[in-house]
């Protein structure tokens, strides 16, 4: 079923959220000239400018700011109506966009796809991989319906379901003397050359605060903004990483994970839900499936 709302208004929202025509075109996998042409036609039909061009992209005009929330409401209503019409028989159909953390792709992507295809063959699952910060941004923009996110301690929002809690480990080169240990105190970790995510980052802020409480100073030698990068630098002898210690088969040959204790630290994996897209029957069914299957699978992956 075609969308009952003029697609140009959906382009309007995408450009506004991206802050540029090129960003919206990239997100939609469309040619930039096509997006520009539709926005120009929309402005002509509206009789006024919707965007003001800047050196770094576009911003909404005063009129654009006035219509943006009303267009968002119309899009949500249109999507809900279209879904109600499609699912009148009670069968979930349509698209569900789900974002996975890199460490969960091997564990969840295949089984989730198979389960959705078996139970609801008319549901089209769109999977995306990204860091927790990237996935949260895409949820906020409405580019994803659901996503796995990382949360420090008990910082999950009310609408986020905690799927599992992952203990934090010091990741070390396999040939390092520390690799033979099962645990390591946080006081000893603080003095090691650490590979940490760049600021601002919730985990880094949490580690820094804990160090200050203990009268310690973290020794940071390098910043790397993905777990894969942190593990790679550690494997090459560039320092030590602090992650959930989930290693790929290739990483497990070069790295080892030592549990951090006194205090024991953990992070929560939560199921984030967008507030910027209408939730369809398909979305709710995939959400229910994730809540039932993901906790055990994520836990078993860490123990393997």
Q: Mean pLDDT highest for which of 1-5, 48-52, 226-230?
A: 48-52
pTM for this structure? 0.64
pLDDT for 141 beyond 50: yes
Q: Torsions phi, psi of 269, nearest 5?
A: -100, 120
| pLDDT 10s digits, 252-286 | 899 999 999 999 888 888 998 888 766 788 888 99
pLDDT for 79 beyond 80: no
Structural domain including 244 reads 169-264
| pLDDT 10s digits, 145-197 | 999 998 876 666 666 788 888 889 999 999 999 999 999 999 999 989 999 98
DSSP label at residue 285: H
SS3 for 75-119 is HHHHHHHHHHHHCCCCCCCEEEEEEECHHHHHHHHHHHHHHHHHH
CATH of residue 282's domain is 3.40.190.10
Query: Is residue 98 within 8 Å of 271, Cβ to Cβ?
Result: no
Answer whether residue 292 is part of any domain.
yes
Predicted local confidence at residue 179, as pLDDT: 92
Instruction: Select from 154, 93, 149, 77 the least CA-distant residue to 286.
Output: 93
Residue with tokens 């709302």: 5
- Helix 110-119 vs helix 281-303: crossing angle, to nearest 10: 150
Answer whether residue 2 is part of any domain.
no
| pLDDT 10s digits, 114-126 | 999 998 898 889 9
- Say whether both 177 and 252 belong to one domain: yes
| Strand blocks (E) in the chain | 51-54, 57-60, 94-100, 123-129, 146-152, 161-167, 169-173, 183-185, 193-196, 219-223, 240-243, 255-261, 266-273
Domain count, the chain: 3
Predicted local confidence at residue 303, as pLDDT: 42
Please give the average per-residue pLDDT across 48-60, as a whole number.
89
Element containing residue 264 per DSSP (H, E): none
- Say whether both 130 and 188 belong to one domain: no
- Say whether both 157 and 278 belong to one domain: yes
pLDDT for 71 beyond 70: yes
């Amino acid at each position: 079923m075609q969308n009952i709302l003029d697609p140009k208004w959906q382009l309007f929202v995408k450009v506004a959220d991206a802050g540029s025509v090129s960003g919206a075109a990239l997100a939609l996998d469309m040619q930039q000239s096509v997006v520009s042409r539709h926005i120009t036609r929309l402005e002509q039909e509206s009789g006024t400018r919707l965007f003001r061009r800047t050196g770094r992209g576009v911003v909404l005009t005063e009129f654009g700011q006035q219509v943006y929330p009303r267009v968002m409401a119309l899009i949500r209503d249109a999507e809900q109506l279209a879904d109600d019409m499609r699912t009148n028989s009670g069968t979930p159909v349509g698209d569900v966009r789900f974002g996975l953390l890199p460490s969960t792709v091997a564990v969840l992507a295949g089984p989730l796809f198979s389960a959705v295809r078996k139970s609801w063959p008319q549901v089209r699952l769109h999977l995306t991989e990204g860091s927790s910060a990237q996935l949260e941004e895409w949820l906020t923009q409405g580019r994803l319906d659901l996503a796995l996110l990382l949360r420090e301690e008990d910082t999950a929002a009310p609408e986020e379901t905690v799927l599992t809690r992952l203990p934090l480990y010091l990741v070390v080169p396999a040939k390092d003397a520390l690799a033979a240990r099962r645990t390591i105190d946080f006081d000893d970790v603080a003095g090691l050359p650490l590979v940490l995510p760049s600021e601002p980052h919730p985990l880094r802020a949490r580690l820094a605060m804990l160090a200050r409480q203990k009268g310690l100073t973290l020794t940071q030698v390098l910043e790397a903004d993905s777990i894969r990068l942190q593990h790679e630098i550690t494997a090459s002898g560039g320092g030590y990483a602090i992650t959930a210690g989930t290693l790929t088969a290739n990483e497990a040959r070069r790295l080892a994970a030592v549990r951090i204790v006194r205090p024991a630290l953990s992070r929560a994996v939560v199921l984030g839900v967008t507030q910027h897209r209408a939730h369809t029957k398909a979305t709710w069914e995939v959400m229910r499936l994730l809540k039932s299957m993901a906790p055990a699978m994520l836990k078993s992956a860490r123990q393997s």
